Each structure stands twice: as C-alpha cells, then as structure tokens.
Chains A and B, each alone.
Chain A
Amino acid sequence: MIHRPVLLGGILLAVLGSLCPFLWFVLTSFKSQIQVEAIPPTWWPDGSLVFYASALFEHRLLHYVRNSVTVAGGTTVIALVVATPAAYALARLRLPGKTWILGGLLCVAMFPPIVIAGPVWQILERLGGLNTHWGLVLPYVSLTLPLAVWILTTFFHELPVELEEAARIDGCTTWQALYKIMLPLAAPGLFTAAILTFIYAWNEFFFALLILTNPERQTLPVGIALFQGEFIMPWGEIAAASVIATLPLIILVLLFQRGIIDGLSSGAVKK
C-alpha cells in the first residue's frame, strides 16, 4: 500500500525513535562512574557491571521487582474479575442510561490522582491498608476499572447475543454462559484490558509513594526514585535498574503484541 522506500524509511524512523533514547540508557548502565558524566559523552561503555551489582545488591532491586509483580498482578486479576461482569451487564443491559454509566466511569478515570490521594489515604488507614500491598491494589483497581470496563463493554458488545442465548438454551446459567462461552470469546479484549491495567499498576508512582513507606513493601518506580541520595544523582544505578525493570515488560509486549492489537481492534471476532 505504501511505497517501499517510504515504508522502509518509516520503519527505520519508528524503530530508531522508539529505541535510541532507551539504548543510551542501556549503554550508560554498563559504564563506569566517571564515564557516565564524562564530557563529551563517551559512546562505548567499559562493560562495567558495577551499576548492576549496585542496583541488584545494594539497592535490592529484585525485591522491588517482586513487590511490583505482586501489586501489578493483583491489581490486574482483581480489576478483571470485577470489571468483567460489570462490562457484561453494561453491554447487555437494555437501559437507556447506560451511555451515561459508561460516561460516568470515564469521568472517574479522569479524577486527577492528587485530588483523591488524601481521602484514599484516610480510608486505607482506617482499613489498616497502609504499607500493605492490598492497600495499594484497592485504589489501583478503582482507578483502572473505568478503562477496563470501557474496553470490555465495547468488546462484549461486538459478541452476538445469539451465542449467549444458545448457551442458555443448552443449559447454562447466566454465570456459566459468561465464563464458558463469552469469556473465551472475549479473550483478546480481556487481554488488552489486562495489559493496560498491568502497565498502569507497574508504572504508577504517586499513590505508591504515598501509601508504601516501608522499604520492604515499596514498588519499583518508588524504589528507583529513592535511589537518589541526598546530593548524589546515581545515573548509572538508575539506568541499570531501569533496564532490569523494563525487561519483563518488553518480554510481555513481545510475547503478546499480537494479542494487544487484536484486542484493541474489537471487531476481531467474526460474526
């Protein structure tokens, strides 16, 4: 469709534009301290692993990774479990006001986090959720629900009602019809919602900083942000940590890029 040379140029531009800035960080992570701030910058690193050692052992990076996996994974699972029936109901409901419900959910997605941070903190304090992973998961679920419900609703909408009715006649209860028939079909949509939720929870900084002050519980973004000492900017360690922190997501994206895209183009299910 696009002329070959234009296409090649486009590919090159897109790939270089996306990767180069990060590659510089990757190179930096293998440098030595004095190389990092050398003027002019040196391109090729010494191949030093000092920063990785420091990030992994001194700053205990893996333990932040573990916390992040717990929080992001928990958020994703709960958000989907809660969002799916809601989206299903919204997609099937014959209520005239459902556009408004969806609009309202979208509105909720727009609350600036700093507005709700204070009250959320107080609720969690009452529930004993400060400095716990579930205490962070709860607000994350609430913040990611609107997007998840939105995606899933449009997705369920695309699925023919007949299928569900066929299942009912075949002897399914509403719930069985949902999880035996509709869910497998909505898998791409579920997957999209899952990855968006996961990445949100993986990247979120503000609430994590506020709710988790115990270093044992802190997540990756907070962990990396706290690498910074009083007066020293540890670029090398930050670079090394970012590389390690980004790897799981890159693998995830590589594995599932097809799923993400299919999921977003919700017309994927042929009627």
Chain B
Amino acid sequence: MAFPALTFVAVFSLYPAMDSFLLSLYSDFPGPERSFVGFGHYAELLHDPVAHQAFIVTLGFVLLSTTLELLMGTGIALVVHERFRGRGWVRAAVLIPWAIPTVVASQMWRFLLNDQYGAINAILFGDRVNAYVPWLADPWTAFGAVVLADVWKTSSFTGLLVLAGLQVIPEETYDAARVDGATAWQRFRHVTLPLLKPALLTALLFRTIDAFRVFDLVFVMTQGGPGDATQVIQFYGYKTLFTEGRVGYGTTISVTVFVAMAILSLFYVRTVGSKVLQREPA
C-alpha cells in the first residue's frame, strides 16, 4: 500500500539527492572533462572562510529563530487554548502570517523596514524623519530583521503544534495540581511544560529543519548583505550552484547541510518519534 508513496519519494527526492551527491564528487574546473575528486570538495569546504561564516550565521539564525518561535508559539497556544468569546476569530487571525507566501511576506518586511517610508520607522519615530533607522544597512539589525520576519511568519505554525499538545493534557491533571496548591506559574512549570514536551520537541524538529533551509527570506530581503552578515548556508549554496555554476562545490554545501540535519532528525526520531509510534494501539 505504501508503494505509490515510496515510488514518488524515490523518483523525485531520493534519486535527485543521490544524483546530487555523485555530482559533489566531481570537479568544477578545469580540464577536458569533469574529473572525479572524491571528497575533495568536502575538504575544501572545511577550509572555506565564507562557508564557515555562513554556517555560523545559519546556526545563529536557527538558534535564535527557533527559540523565539517556540516561546512565541507557546504563548500564542496558551492564549488561544483558553475559552473566551471570539476565540475562533483570534485563532484565525493568528494563523494569517503562516498563510502568506514567504516570498510575499519577505517583500512585506523589506517594505516595513524601509529606511524612509517604512512603517516600523514611522511607528517608532513618527515625524522625526532624521531619526529613521536603515534597519537592513547595519549587519546586526539586518540579521535581526531576517529573524524577525521568520519569527513573525512561523510562530503561529509552532503555536498550532503546541496547541495540539495542550489539548491532549487532561483537565484532571490541572485540577490535581490545583488541589495540591500550585500557583498558575507552578502549574505551568511543573504540569503543562513536562506534558508539552513531545509537542514542543516535534515543533522544534520541524522548525529546525526549516530554519536550516532558510532561503527565500534572505534572497528577497538582503541578498546576504550587508557584508555577508545575513548570508546563510543555503543562500551561499544557491549562489555557488546556480549563479557561479560550480555544480560540484554547490551540491557539496547542500549535501553537507542535509547530512547535518539528517543526523539531527534521526536522533530525534530515535528518542521521541519511536515513543510516539511504537506504542501499540489498545
């Protein structure tokens, strides 16, 4: 029954990935033909300062954005889990950022952060136009802006996953904690949080995977600038592969990213996933 699905995955994902891996073993230039260089490109990657910087920028982005998204997402989930009038509308409102195409959302943030006619400056400084900040011009604020856009776009998705986790916590558990005299914070800290762990970990996994692959945001907002401050590894891989045409080295970068993520997620599947899935149905 799984055959059609596996066929799809094999043809359009696995085979291309294998193909790419093979390409990463061949030289880019020069010579009369593409020669086999084994793991030469991988060695080159180890000594490429631009790649190192891109990797650090990416790691920073992943850590910062996933942390913030988990925090915001949990906050959102806690709020929309409560019962109040108009909750449906609030839930829908919160989901809107997630439904906006990334390309559009990044253009929007570029527009909002504009140094002259951007809304952010108008809100912060009003008419004092010479106080307006060119957010995307400074390496640090530009990096922050990319993180901000990502957090805005995907916190609601995280919130959705956390909300799902919240909903399977039985009310009784809270009642028990109340009877035991726990304050609201203590209930959150000692009851909600531990029980949310699987949901939080799932959210963390999906977000980490996505954050590692961040591309559209940087492509639209900063093109990696200024001074490579927002150059993430996928964008570097893209530039190498598509713009510079260095097929071998470009795929090497992407394959490396993939391997890093695969190790991460297999680790996850072993620890968390197996618990979720191997529990036999009653």
**Are these two chains actual partners, yes or no?**
yes
- Tell me which of B102, B107, B168, B277 contacts A203 (CB under 8 A): B102
Stretch at the interface among A44-52, A54-62, A103-111: A103-111
Q: How far is the CA of A7 from the CA of B80 in the complex (A)?
A: 9
Q: How far is the CA of A238 from the CA of B242 in the complex (A)?
A: 26
- In the complex, which residues 54-106 of chain B have their Cβ closer than 8 Å to any Cβ of chain A? 75-76, 78-80, 82, 84, 88-104
A108 in contact with B163 (CB, 8 Å) = no
Per-residue A-contact encoding for B109-139, CB less than 8 Å = 1, 0 else: 1011000111101100011010010000000
Contact surface of B with A, Cβ cutoff 8 Å: 1-2, 4-6, 8-9, 11-17, 19-20, 23, 75-76, 78-80, 82, 84, 88-104, 107-109, 111-112, 116-119, 121-122, 126-127, 129, 132, 152, 156, 160-161, 163-168, 174, 184, 187, 209, 212-213, 215-216, 234, 237-238, 241-242, 247, 250-251, 254-255, 257-258, 261-262, 265-266, 269-270, 273-274, 276-279, 281-282
B111 in contact with A25 (CB, 8 Å) = yes
Main secondary structure of the interface of A (DSSP, over half): helix
B13 in contact with A108 (CB, 8 Å) = yes
State whether the Cβ of A229 lies closer than 8 Å to any Cβ in chain B.
no
A90 in contact with B2 (CB, 8 Å) = yes
Of B9, B132, B216, B234, most buried by chain A (CB within 10 Å of CB) is B9
Could you say which interface size class chain A belongs to? 35 or more
Q: How far is the CA of A122 from the CA of B53 in the complex (A)?
A: 33
B4 in contact with A107 (CB, 8 Å) = no
Given the known interface contacts A10-B75, A114-B254, the answer about A123 and B12 at a Cβ–Cβ threshold of 8 Å is yes
A83 in contact with B5 (CB, 8 Å) = yes
State whether the Cβ of A141 lies closer than 8 Å to any Cβ in chain B.
yes
B126 in contact with A257 (CB, 8 Å) = no
Pull 26 A–B residue pairs with CB atoms less than 8 Å apart, ordered by A: A15-B90, A18-B94, A18-B96, A19-B96, A24-B119, A38-B117, A39-B116, A40-B121, A43-B122, A115-B16, A116-B13, A123-B12, A142-B12, A145-B9, A149-B5, A157-B281, A159-B281, A205-B103, A224-B104, A238-B104, A241-B104, A242-B104, A242-B107, A246-B99, A265-B167, A267-B167
Q: Which residues of B sit under 8 angstroms from A15, Cβ to Cβ?
A: 90, 93-94
Per-residue B-contact encoding for A21-49, CB less than 8 Å = 1, 0 else: 11011001000000011111101000000
Q: Which residues of B sit under 8 angstroms from A159, Cβ to Cβ?
A: 281
State whether the Cβ of A220 lies closer than 8 Å to any Cβ in chain B.
yes
Q: Which residues of B sit under 8 angstroms from A242, Cβ to Cβ?
A: 100-101, 104, 107-108
B96 in contact with A112 (CB, 8 Å) = no
A250 in contact with B213 (CB, 8 Å) = no
Given the known interface contacts A15-B93, A257-B88, the answer about A21 and B116 at a Cβ–Cβ threshold of 8 Å is no
State whether the Cβ of A166 lies closer than 8 Å to any Cβ in chain B.
no
Q: How far is the CA of A139 from the CA of B197 in the complex (A)?
A: 33
Q: How far is the CA of A173 from the CA of B274 in the complex (A)?
A: 30
State whether the Cβ of A69 lies closer than 8 Å to any Cβ in chain B.
no
Q: Which residues of A sit under 8 angstroms from B5, Cβ to Cβ?
A: 82-83, 85-86, 145, 149
Q: Which residues of B sit under 8 angstroms from A153, Cβ to Cβ?
A: 277
Q: Which residues of A sit under 8 angstroms from B247, Cβ to Cβ?
A: 118
B269 in contact with A115 (CB, 8 Å) = no
**Which 3 A-B pairs rank lowest in CB-CB distance, beginning with the nearest?**
A142-B12, A119-B16, A264-B164
- Tell me which of B109, B174, B269 contacts A106 (CB under 8 A): B269
State whether the Cβ of A138 lies closer than 8 Å to any Cβ in chain B.
yes
State whether the Cβ of A191 lies closer than 8 Å to any Cβ in chain B.
no
